[in-house]
Amino acid sequence: MVIVKSYNSYYNLITKSWFVAEREDEQLYRHRAVDLLNDPDITDRVQVLEPERGLSTLRIKNLRLSDSAQYRFTFKSQTFEWNRSFPGTTLTVTDPDVQVICSPIGPTLTCHSSCLLSGRPSFVWYENGTEIHGETFRTFKRFLQPENNYSCSYELHHSSPVYAPKVPLVQLSQPGDILKDSSVSLTCSSDANPPPEYTWYKGNRTLFNRAAQLVFSSIRSSDSGEYYCTAENALGKTASKRVLINVKYAPQSSSVSVSPSGEIMEGSSVTLTCSSDANPAAHYTWYKENRALLQGPQGVYHLSSISSGDSGVYSCKSENQYGRINSTSLHLDVQYAPKPPSVSVSSSGEIMEGSSVTLTCSSDANPAANYTWYKRSGDKQVQRKASGQNFTITDIISEHGGKYQCEAQNTHGRSNTTLHLTVGAGAWKSAVTGTTTALLLVVVLLAVFLWIRRNKSFTQQRECGERPEDRVQIPAAAHTRPAEPHDDVHYASVCFTQNPADAIYCNIGRVQPQRETDEDEEEEAEYSAVRFDSATGTRREEEGDDPSALYSTVTKH
C-alpha cells in the first residue's frame, strides 16, 4: 500500500513524519501522534520515500486488517508547523479472503477472493506447496491425488491448502475393562480441510450416528463388538482402525441340557452341557444332589456307559471374577430292562397242607416292571397262574407243590426266576407214615430171622427122613377173613421134630390181595402186627385145640 503526500517545499523543514491519528496514549488518555518509523507494530513494514522535493510517500507492506486507520503527514520549519489535526488519508484494509473452494463434482477446485480486481486476474496453483506451472485459471480441474494438498494465490495472497481427510483416530473414553451398565464414549478425529463429516460403523453395519462422538450412556453386553469411523470431505474418504469394545459382566443365566434327548437307556453314552451367558467365559462346577462331581473351564460332563446308579438330579454352577450363578436342575432318568427277580415266601417254616402262603416277586427295573406267575409242569409245560407282584395260595394241598416261575417285564425287556415249592403232609398222614415205616422194619427183621430158622429146619427135615406124616400144612389164612376170589393163598408149613415141645417155623407166606385203593392211601398193604401162638407145653382147654397145633395170626391194616 502506498500513500503519497505533497507539501510546500519552499519551507526549510526541520522535521517531517507520518503518523496515525487514531492511536491513543494509554498513559495520558489523549490522542498523540506516533511516528510510524518508530512504531514497533509497523516499523518493519513501512517505508517513507521522497522521490522529489515537496513529495513524501508512505509505503506499507503486507497489509493487515489492523492497518486500517487515518494516516497523516506533518512537518515543522523554523517559522511554521503543519497542524497535526488536519485531515489525513483514511486507509481501509479488506481481507482478500483467498481460499480454495472444493466442488464435489470432479472434484473441481476454485480459487476465491473477496476483492477481485478489475481486468483479467491472474492465479497461481500449488501442489504440496510447489507451484504448478501453466495453471493460471481460477479453476483447477486436474486429477487430484487424495494424499496431496492443494492451494492457490491471488495478488500475492496465499490460500490455505485443502486436502482429503487423514486416517481418523478413534479414542476410548476410559481405559481398562468396560463393565456392563457403565458410561462409555468413542471419539473420531481426522485432519482434513475442509472439515470432514464422520460416520460410525459396528462390524459391517452402519450406525445412524453422524457426529464425531459415539456415546453409550449405559452400555449393554449386546454392544460388544468392533467399531470404526470414516471421515469424508469433497476430496476423499478414509476409515479408521477398528476398536474392540468388550463388555465384561458376571454370568447372567445358566442352564443344563442333555444329549441325546429322549429316553436314556442303560449302557448308552450321555453328555450333559452347562451353558452360561458370561464375559469372560465362566468356570463350571457340576453337582449331583448337591454333591460336587467335576470342575473345569468346559461346561461338559460325559458319561460313556451310563448305569442305573447315575440316575438323579444334576446341576452346575457358573462363575467368573465378576459373579456366579446356579443353573436350573435336570433330572436324569436312566431306563433299563428288569434285573433277575427275587422271590420271597411269606411262611418261613415248612409249608403244610391246609395252610396259606403268599409268594412275592420283586425286580429292579425302570420303568417299573409288570409281574406274571406261571407253574411249570415237567420241564416244558407252563401254565399261567396270575399277574401282579404277589401270588397267594390258600388251602394248600400236595398238588400245589412244584416249580413256580415269576416273570418281570417292561418296555425294554423281561427276566424270570423259578422257585421250587414243597408241601409237607398233614399231622394224621405223618403219623400213618411213621407207623408204616416201623412195621416195614419189623417185617425185614422177622424175614431174616425166619430165613435163618428155615435153613435149620431144612436140616432137621432131612434128619426126619422126609416123612409125609410128620408134615402138617396149615392154611395161613386161619383165623382171618376168607380170601377174595382170585387171591393167591400161601401156607405156612410147620415141621414137628421128635421133641414135640420145640416149635419150628419153617415158612411164612404173606397174602397180597389185589384191590383198588383210595388216591390218598398207599397201594401196598402194610402189616401192623404179626402174632404167633405155640400150643407146645400149653393147654387151651376152653378152645379144645390140639396141644401140638401151631397157629399164626396176621392182622393187616
Q: What is the secondary structure of 128-162 as a DSSP string? A: TTEEETT--SSEE-SPPPTT-EEEEEETTEEPPPE
- Domain boundary pick from 91, 109, 131: 91
Given CA atoms 260, 263, 269, 272 in this order, what sign does their dihedral have?
Answer: positive
- Best-predicted range by mean pLDDT among 184-188, 208-212, 419-423, 485-489? 184-188
Phi, psi of 269 (to 5 degrees): -100, 130
Domain that holds residue 129: 99-163
Which among 158, 161, 160 is positioned nearest to 150, based on CA atoms? 161
- Tell me the average pLDDT of the chain: 75
Q: Which amino acid belongs to residue 280? A: P
Q: What is the distance between the alpha carbons of residues 242 and 226, in angstroms, rounded to a whole number? A: 6
What CATH number has the domain bearing residue 184?
Answer: 2.60.40.10
**Is residue 412 domain-resident?**
yes
- Domain boundary pick from 37, 63, 91: 91
**Is residue 37 domain-resident?**
yes
Same domain for 325 and 379?
no
Which among 352, 266, 247 is positioned nearest to 309, based on CA atoms? 266
Within 297-414, residue ranges assigned H as helices are none
Same domain for 8 and 70?
yes
Quote the number of domains for the chain: 6
- Domain boundary pick from 163, 195, 213: 163
Residue 431, classed as helix, strand or coil, is helix
In tens, the pLDDT along 102-116 reads 777 767 888 888 776
The grid cell for 439 is 412195621
Q: pTM score, two decimals? A: 0.49
Q: What is the distance between the alpha carbons of residues 334 and 307, in angstroms, rounded to a whole number? A: 7
Please give, one letter per residue, the 3-state secondary structure of 23-83. CEECCCCEECCCEHHHCCCCCCCEEEECCCCCEEEEEECCCCHHHCEEEEEEEEECCCECC
Same domain for 374 and 327?
no
* Separate counts of helices (H) and strands (E) for the chain: 1, 49
For residues 506 and 495, the answer to whether their CB atoms sit within 8 Å is: yes
Q: What is the distance between the alpha carbons of residues 358 and 412, in angstroms, rounded to a whole number? A: 28
What CATH number has the domain bearing residue 28?
Answer: 2.60.40
Q: Which amino acid belongs to residue 381? A: Q
Q: Region 290-308: what's the mean pLDDT?
A: 89
Strands 169-172 and 184-189 turn out to be antiparallel
Within 417-426, residue ranges assigned H as helices are none
In tens, the pLDDT along 181-210 reads 999 999 999 999 999 999 999 998 999 888
For residues 31 and 24, the answer to whether their CB atoms sit within 8 Å is: yes
What is the per-residue pLDDT for 414?
A: 94
What is the per-residue pLDDT for 213?
A: 94
CA 436 and chain centroid, separation:
78
Of residues 479 and 255, more confidence is placed in: 255
